[in-house]
């Protein structure tokens, strides 16, 4: 399995060979950098200009990606593990006023409903269960990973009639073990999640006492294996958002002054 880079109409994104459903993980240069949430439904002045720019970007992105005119289903992410079921009625175009409900994952069994999650170092994971006809998108940073976001996603899929053994999963570009320096709390959370399967995932950082280099991609992949997803159905992007911060938004590399990448999947 492998990821493929596509450049189209000023946008760039990667797609995974493991997912039969239409999907993409955007890159920074896609232009979907500005956050789509707005609290003011009728902004004026400078705020109005940003609002219009966000709207224009999302229209261009929607059309370049070939998504429905009605738009996308969105999360308002809170580093939790709630996976919300959505329908075509919830499709919207940014700027989003009011904010969508709090959740870190979306799932649907309806065709033509693009599910969108946001990341910039955290782990985006897109799922497709082709037998039952289900797609799911989740945001899984280290907190979500530790709270078992993969378990929540697989439970949401089985709750809609899907099966773990038929599930395909693509773990998208995110901060990788080369750059993810953490304190002991992350290492302990990974070990609590995976038990003996955490072996080798959180080695101490050389020459830096009390710090560990954690592999969040592999943590999520191993958790999916524990949950019964076949190894051959799981694809992992080789890209590190921090090492490649010229093409991806990285929260750490920018000190938090950043846009966000969108990961989208649709039946
Ligand atoms: Zn890196």
How many angstroms separate the alpha carbon of residue 198 from the centre of ligand 1? 20
* CATH class for the domain made up of 3-180+215-266: alpha beta
Secondary structure string (H, E, C) spanning 179-220? CCEECHHHHHHHHHHHHHHHCCCCCECCCCCCCEECCHHHHH
How many angstroms separate the alpha carbon of residue 242 from the centre of ligand 1? 5
pLDDT tens digits, residue range 68-83? 999 999 999 999 999 9
Question: What are the phi and psi torsion angles at 48 (to 5°)?
Answer: -65, -40
- Whether residue 97 contacts residue 40, with contact meaning beta carbons closer than 8 Å, is answered with yes
pLDDT of residue 177 exceeding 80, the answer is yes
Q: Is residue 33 very low, low, confident or very high in pLDDT (cuts 50, 70, 90)?
A: low
Give dist(CA 267, CA 252) in Å, integer. Answer: 33
Give the position of tokens 């003996």.
Answer: 196
pLDDT tens digits, residue range 76-133? 999 999 999 999 999 999 998 888 999 999 999 999 999 999 988 899 999 999 999 9
How many angstroms separate the alpha carbon of residue 216 from the centre of ligand 1? 12
How many angstroms separate the alpha carbon of residue 253 from the centre of ligand 1? 10
- Whether residue 106 contacts residue 83, with contact meaning beta carbons closer than 8 Å, is answered with yes
pLDDT, residue 42, reads 85
How many angstroms separate the alpha carbon of residue 180 from the centre of ligand 1? 7
Which of helix, strand or coil describes residue 28? helix
Report the mean per-residue pLDDT for the chain: 92
Tokens representing 111 are 């065709």
How many angstroms separate the alpha carbon of residue 189 from the centre of ligand 1? 21
- Whether residue 237 contacts residue 17, with contact meaning beta carbons closer than 8 Å, is answered with no
Torsion of CA 225, 116, 144, 210, to 10 degrees: 100
pLDDT, residue 248, reads 87
pLDDT tens digits, residue range 190-206? 999 999 999 999 999 99
- Whether residue 5 contacts residue 241, with contact meaning beta carbons closer than 8 Å, is answered with no
pLDDT tens digits, residue range 121-168? 899 999 999 999 999 999 999 999 999 999 999 999 999 999 999 999
| CB neighbourhood size of 168 (10 A) | 23
Cα torsion 49, 55, 56, 61: sign = positive
Give the position of tokens 């493991």.
Answer: 18
pLDDT, residue 254, reads 75
Give dist(CA 150, CA 226) in Å, integer. Answer: 10
pLDDT of residue 29 exceeding 90, the answer is no
- Mean pLDDT for 16-40 is 82
How many angstroms separate the alpha carbon of residue 183 from the centre of ligand 1? 17
Give dist(CA 185, CA 74) in Å, integer. Answer: 30
How many angstroms separate the alpha carbon of residue 267 from the centre of ligand 1? 32
Query: Residues near 52 by Cβ (< 8 Å), separated by ≥ 6?
Result: none
Percentage of the residues of the chain whose pLDDT score is greater than 70: 97
Give dist(CA 58, CA 61) in Å, integer. Answer: 5
pLDDT, residue 32, reads 53
Give dist(CA 246, CA 244) in Å, integer. Answer: 5
Residue 47 or 200, more confident = 200
Give dist(CA 250, CA 174) in Å, integer. Answer: 8
pLDDT, residue 50, reads 85
pLDDT, residue 245, reads 86
pLDDT, residue 30, reads 53
pLDDT, residue 31, reads 53
């Amino acid at each position: 399995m492998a990821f493929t880079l596509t450049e189209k109409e000023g946008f760039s994104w990667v797609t995974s060979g493991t997912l039969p459903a239409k999907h993409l993980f955007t890159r920074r240069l896609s232009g979907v950098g500005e956050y789509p949430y707005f609290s003011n439904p009728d902004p004026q002045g400078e705020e109005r200009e940003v609002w219009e720019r966000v709207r224009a970007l999302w229209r261009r992105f929607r059309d370049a990606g070939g998504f429905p005119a009605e738009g996308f289903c969105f999360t308002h992410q809170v580093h939790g593990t709630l996976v919300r079921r959505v329908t075509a009625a919830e499709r919207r175009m940014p700027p989003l006023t009011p904010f969508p409900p709090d959740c870190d994952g979306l799932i649907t069994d309806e065709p033509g409903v693009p599910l969108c999650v946001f990341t910039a170092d955290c782990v985006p994971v897109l799922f497709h269960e082709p037998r039952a006809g289900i797609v799911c998108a989740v945001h899984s940073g280290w907190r979500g990973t530790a709270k078992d976001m993969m378990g929540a996603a697989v439970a949401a899929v089985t709750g809609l009639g899907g099966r773990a053994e038929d599930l395909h999963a693509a773990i998208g570009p995110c901060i990788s073990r080369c750059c993810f320096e953490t304190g002991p709390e992350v290492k302990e959370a990974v070990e609590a999640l995976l038990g003996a399967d955490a072996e080798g995932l959180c080695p101490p950082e050389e020459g830096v006492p009390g710090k560990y280099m954690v592999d969040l991609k592999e943590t999520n992949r191993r958790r999916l294996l524990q949950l019964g997803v076949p190894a051959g159905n799981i694809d992992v992007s080789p890209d590190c958002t921090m090492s490649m911060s010229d093409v991806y938004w990285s929260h750490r590399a920018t000190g938090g002054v950043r846009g966000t990448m969108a990961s989208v999947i649709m039946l």
